[in-house]
Amino acid sequence: MCWLMVVLAHFIKAVILLCRLRSSLWLQFKPHHIAAGAAYLAAKFLNFDLAFYQNIWREFETTPAILQDVSQQLMELFQ
């Protein structure tokens, strides 16, 4: 469960950043899509092997295309 707590912490930081920057990301995507994008990026930065958990994104009810769009926009906010 430790990795889940780390992912959640990164998600919370992303949400705070979105609020501070007043991004329009929340207007473009549903909250669970943004959560999936934040979780994906957190796992990527932690070098977490997502190959074993490929179906986890179904839990977020998202598609690879949406996940890619959200992740890209989140990365732009952090740069």
Question: pLDDT tens digits, residue range 57-77?
Answer: 777 888 889 988 998 988 887
Residue 69 lies in a domain: yes
User: CB burial class (10 A; 0-12, 13-18, 19+) of residue 8?
Assistant: middle
Task: Provide the domain count of the chain.
Answer: 1
> What percent of the chain is predicted at pLDDT more than 70?
78
Residue 1 lies in a domain: no
Residue 5 lies in a domain: no
Tokens of 65: 């295309």
> Cα(12)–Cα(23) distance, rounded to whole angstroms?
15
The pLDDT score that the predictor gives to residue 1 is 47
The model scores a pTM over 0.75: no
Residue 37 lies in a domain: yes
Q: Which residues of the chain have pLDDT under 50?
A: 1
The pLDDT score that the predictor gives to residue 35 is 83
Residue 7 lies in a domain: no
Could you list the residue range(s) of the whole structural domain that residue 58 is in? 20-78
Residue 9 lies in a domain: no
Q: Are 48 and 3 in contact (CB under 8 A)?
A: yes
DSSP-assigned letter for residue 50:
-
